[in-house]
Amino acid sequence: MPDVPNDHAAGPESGRSEPSEPPEIRAFALGPFQTNCYVTSRKGASRGDPCWVADCGVEPGIMLEEIDRLGLVPEAVVLTHAHLDHIAGLFAFRARFPDCPIWIHEAEGAWLTDPNLNLSARHGIEVTGPTPDRLLADGELLTLCGEPWEVRHTPGHSPGGISLVHRGSPVAIVGDTLFNGSIGRHDFPGSDFETLARSIQEKLYTLPPETVALPGHGPVTQIGHEKLSNPFVRGDSVTA
């Protein structure tokens, strides 16, 4: 995971479990959309150890090859949302790892199999994925590679968008909700600016300021930085 300067101390709003070593997170910018997909494992994981994957975009070959090279065993694919650029590689993933379940927020349980809902039809293609194995809800605590990750429902870019917050270290996978110096698009069917801004302010800006935010596109950022300087949604203001 790229380094982000840690120039803030954890505040009382952290809500984290006892501190633990940050996980090993490998980022892959996949396909023409350059979708950031993440492979997470414990630091020092060896062959046969588990990993889990956040999103699986177009042309996932380099990510699948790296999982194979490391000898890791995926225990889940957790989708931050079901737009085509985050799901297009699911059938290829399932072909390589047929026993790995796919999890998504309950608001988008039908999107993987519907090209209109996942927006692929509007791009002139029809992308589908396998039926999800588990539907997630806000506030669930997932155990992935033996570590606790909290599901935070962060709709606005899409109705079922989620962020995944590691409870033992200041790391969050935020999908297309928040970017470095920007926010997710809110002009798609099912998108809404006010909902997105509320998600960012209530579900992400309440994290400790040193939290590293891993977005669905572009470079990493830090919650405290965005809270102070994001041109669209700051900690105390919103600009449509």
Cα separations in angstroms, 176 against 11, 162, 209: 25, 9, 19
Rounded to whole angstroms, the Cα distance separating 13 from 174 reads: 18
> CATH number for the domain including 68?
3.60.15.10
For residue 97, what pLDDT is reported? 98
Whether 68 maps to a domain, the answer reads yes
What backbone torsions phi and psi does residue 8 show, to the nearest 5 degrees? -130, 150
Q: What is the arithmetic mean of pLDDT over 2-31? A: 59
Q: Which residue range(s) make up the domain with 214? A: 24-229
For residues 64, 103, 167, 212, the Cα torsion angle rounded to the nearest 10 degrees is: 50
pLDDT surpassing 50 at residue 5: no
pTM above 0.75, yes or no: yes
Whether 235 maps to a domain, the answer reads no
Q: What is the pLDDT of residues 123-174, one digit of tens each?
A: 999 999 999 999 999 999 999 999 999 999 999 999 999 999 999 999 999 9
Whether 8 maps to a domain, the answer reads no
Whether 98 maps to a domain, the answer reads yes
Number of domains in the chain: 1
Whether 13 maps to a domain, the answer reads no
Whether 7 maps to a domain, the answer reads no
Q: Model confidence at 7, in pLDDT bands (50, 70, 90)?
A: very low
